């Protein structure tokens, strides 16, 4: 790499079978992207000044160059590297040190212990965890839904009197009648 060449910002995420790299470089013209064994290399001009950028990443594991692909967009270049072996890598690179121009893409990140079938359970929800919200039907008396379902849900949560013996409202007779005395606040200064 020559001295007049800069590193582009790169963000990454992984799945068991692939690694996602995003090279954050606006208006990249004629990028050269090469996949070889455990190395990815990038070279191209981009940004508002059309400066030269170059990056060589020595990956933690081997990739399948024939199955790896990239997509050039106006603001970045997205790369999907197919891993040779399906397993999670502890880091992106062979070296254990931090590389300042490589960061984690938390929008695409998925931990090794995350369930693989989470998204299959909730198609169209984008992993928001709201799979059962569509059929709730709103508040009772407002139309839609079954009020019995809402009452059952509240009973399980211990609200709306459903958790009280006999299903009735709580009695407030047990509360003592305490009168508040304005002299109880002796230590407070007067408001101005």
| The total number of residues written for the chain in this structure | 192
To the nearest whole number, what is the mean pLDDT of the chain?
77
C-alpha to C-alpha distance for 48 and 25, rounded to whole angstroms = 10
Closest C-alpha to 118, from 133, 105, 128: 128
Q: Is 112 left (phi over 0), alpha (psi -120 to 50) or beta?
A: alpha
Q: State the pairing for strand pair 29-36/39-46.
A: antiparallel
C-alpha to C-alpha distance for 152 and 40, rounded to whole angstroms = 56
Contact by Cβ (8 Å): 33, 70: yes
Give tens-digit pLDDT for 72-111.
999 999 999 999 999 999 999 999 999 999 999 999 988 7
Q: Pick from 39-53, 126-140, 148-162 the range whose average pLDDT is largest.
A: 39-53
pLDDT at 124 over 90: no
Q: What is the pLDDT of residue 5?
A: 83
- Centre a 10 Å sphere on the Cβ of residue 79 and count the other Cβ atoms it contains: 23
pTM: 0.58
Q: When comparing pLDDT for 82 and 176, which is higher? A: 82
Six token digits for residue 105: 């893409």
The full set of domains in the chain, from first to last, is 1-89 (2.60.40.790)
Contact by Cβ (8 Å): 91, 81: no
pLDDT band for position 137 (cuts 50, 70, 90): very low
Give tens-digit pLDDT for 23-70.
999 999 889 999 999 999 999 999 989 999 999 999 999 999 999 999
pLDDT band for position 191 (cuts 50, 70, 90): confident
Contact by Cβ (8 Å): 6, 51: yes
């Amino acid at each position: 790499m020559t001295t007049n060449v800069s590193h582009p910002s790169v963000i990454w995420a992984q799945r068991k079978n692939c690694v996602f790299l995003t090279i954050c470089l606006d208006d990249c013209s004629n990028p050269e992207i090469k996949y070889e064994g455990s190395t990815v290399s990038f070279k191209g001009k981009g940004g508002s000044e059309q400066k030269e950028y170059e990056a060589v990443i020595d990956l933690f594991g081997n990739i399948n160059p024939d199955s790896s692909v990239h997509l050039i967009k106006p603001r970045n270049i997205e790369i999907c590297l197919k891993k040779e072996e399906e397993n999670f890598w502890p880091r992106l690179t062979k070296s254990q040190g931090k590389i300042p121009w490589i960061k984690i893409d938390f929008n695409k990140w998925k931990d090794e212990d995350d369930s693989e079938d989470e998204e299959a359970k909730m198609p169209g929800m984008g992993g928001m965890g709201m799979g059962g919200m569509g059929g709730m039907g709103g508040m009772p008396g407002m139309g839609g839904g079954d009020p019995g379902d809402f009452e059952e849900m509240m009973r399980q949560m211990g609200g709306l009197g459903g958790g009280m013996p006999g299903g009735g409202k709580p009695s407030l007779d047990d509360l003592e009648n305490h009168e508040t005395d304005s002299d109880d606040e002796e230590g407070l200064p007067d408001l101005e």
